[in-house]
Structure 1
Amino acid sequence: MLSKGLAAALAVIALAGAGYTGYSVYTGGKTDASLAREAAKTIPLTVTSANGAHDFTVEVAKTAAEQERGLMYRTDIPKDGGMIFAPYPPEGGPPREATFWMKNTPSALDIIFIRADGTIARIADNAVPYSEARIPSGEPIAAVLEINGGRAAELGIAEGDKVAWAGHGRN
């Protein structure tokens, strides 16, 4: 008969040998990315550019933790999907300059910095996956939209275009 301590140690070794990640015990085998996607609220968002309106369905990152995680680890961003970081900063207050990076983000993204009036201040197109290079807004902003890399150029979205979503310029 094994002692309780030895039995526990053998169980840990067996789990480690089976490729145990910790997810299966608590999350039914789901990853951080799938859990974030399930928990995320989605809303409609429209970018109005010179060539018309472009509709997206985006996840909302409101809290500091949601904004810190963003689209990290995600490879399955829908063609007309993405994430809106609103309000930015998450603790509220007046618009301020922002700096983003692509650490732990495997998908190229267009990072769209949005002023308080809903106009696009800057587009950092095709941000490089996994890069830790800082991507600055260049001016105080109130929200940030992340969409698939290259999508803004494909749709003709440009600086100065108007972005509207539930709670900001759209009902």
Structure 2
Amino acid sequence: MKLRLFLLSLVFCCSLNAQSTNTVFPQIIVEVQGKSLGLEYANSFELRSQGLMYRKSMCSDCGMLFNFNQIKTAGMWMRNTFIPLDVAFIRKDGTITDIKSMTPHDESTTSSSEKVLYAWEMNQGWFKRNNIAVGDKVSIKETE
């Protein structure tokens, strides 16, 4: 009986992992400091919950924009996330309020210092390498 329960839970976990890595995210264009990037767009509860979990790598200019659909003090964590990330929290007017580093698998909450509408995750160090800082303005454009 214990073996059967173990095998069932193993199949369930594997199917969740396979399902989560096959999630297709819509795209969004983010412009900042003269740079234009196509990012994955987590604009629903389900997509925000999935985020960048289970991925082992990400291209150098790839990232994800989270839209919370309401202005709030936002919190992010790194459950099941293998990639070291930086997160920029962004107000509704496009101003970056914070840029914070996050460690893989850290389940503590990394929070914005003020109310925001977006969080933008990139590989750790990307914002610094691209001279993007707190106070910079971000333009967010829906793709067709």
CA displacement at 1:134 relative to structure 2: 1.3
Q: Distance in 1 between matches of 2:118 and 2:40?
A: 13
CA displacement at 1:68 relative to structure 2: 1.1
User: How high is the sequence identity, in percent, across the aligned residues?
Assistant: 30
Q: Distance in 1 between matches of 2:107 and 2:12?
A: 27
CA displacement at 1:138 relative to structure 2: 1.0
Q: Is 1:117 the counterpart of 2:98 in the alignment?
A: no
2:19 to 32, 49, 59: 32
Distance 1:132 1:34, change over 3 A: closer
1:163 to 114, 138, 141: 138
Q: TM-score, normalised by structure 2?
A: 0.83
CA displacement at 1:45 relative to structure 2: 1.4
1:47 to 27, 32, 35: 32
Amino acid across the alignment from 1:31: A
Match of 1:68 in 2: 49
Q: Distance in 2 between matches of 1:80 and 1:44?
A: 12
Computed over aligned residues only, the root mean square deviation of the Cα atoms, in angstroms, reads 2.6
Distance 1:78 1:33, change over 3 A: farther
Which 4+ residue blocks in structure 1 deviate beyond 6 angstroms?
Answer: none
Q: Distance in 2 between matches of 1:77 and 1:46?
A: 19
Aligned residues: 139
Specify which structure has the bigger relative contact order, considering alpha-carbon pairs within 8 angstroms and separated by 6 or more residues: 2
Q: Is 1:147 the counterpart of 2:132 in the alignment?
A: no
Amino acid across the alignment from 2:29: P
Secondary structure, aligned partner of 1:142: strand
Secondary structure, aligned partner of 1:77: coil
Q: More strand by proportion, 1 or 2?
A: 2
In structure 1, stretches of 5+ residues that fail to align are 1-12
Match of 2:77 in 1: 101
